[in-house]
Chains A and B, each alone.
Chain A
Amino acid sequence: KNEVEQSPQNLTAQEGEFITINCSYSVGISALHWLQQHPGGGIVSLFMLSSGKKKHGRLIATINIQEKHSSLHITASHPRDSAVYICAVSYMEYGNKLVFGAGTILRVKS
């Protein structure tokens, strides 16, 4: 079974700061996913990565397959970025099920 570890568990930042959330996993995967959930809200898929780097607006996600590590970066953070960010991995050979990390609670103060 794959273990997915996220760090930090909690993160408080000032508006405008550069934020990094890390994720590591123990077994080879088909893809790694970054998800966002606002308090009381639904779950939004931000990125799906199998290699390299992806960028969407102020969000950047990278993955190092050899190191089994991924990072989610938020540039110029804003209070609306306050949410729980969840890393998850999936395997096509096992029904593409997700194995989740515990999540990182991000609070961005203005």
Chain B
Amino acid sequence: DAGITQSPRHKVTETGTPVTLRCHQTENHRYMYWYRQDPGHGLRLIHYSYGVKDTDKGEVSDGYSVSRSKTEDFLLTLESATSSQTSVYFCAISDSVVYGYTFGSGTRLTVV
């Protein structure tokens, strides 16, 4: 969807290095989310934001941090990447029950 973009789309990184994934929206939606998708586990929430500088943890937040300094950008940082963080990461946005959810195209991260 044109209203939400993720970067990079693919990344290979080494164990122990920091990695930042970016989610950018043009919809001015209040809520932004980072999910990871793994075989056998489905989609799981990492962190989410309900406004600028307002963030909260999801069910699999260990090893991840986030920041939201502007409405349009939500950054996910792996402080020291591990092989268990190899996954497909999806960003999503929502505003209210009226507007529903929009997902980004995903970032495939491989930690070697």
Chain B interfacial positions (CB closer than 8 Å to A): 31, 33, 42-43, 45, 48, 50, 56, 58, 90, 92, 94, 96-97, 100-106
Contact = CB atoms under 8 A, between A and B. Distances in A.
Nearest to A46: B100
A42 B104 CA distance: 7
A95 B97 contact: no
Most buried by A among B33, B48, B56, B94: B94
Interface residues of A, number: 22
Most buried by B among A33, A43, A50, A90: A43
A5 B66 CA distance: 30
A96 interface: yes
Nearest to A48: B100
B82 to A, nearest CB: 24
A84 B46 CA distance: 22
A43 B103 contact: yes
Contacts of B33: 97-98
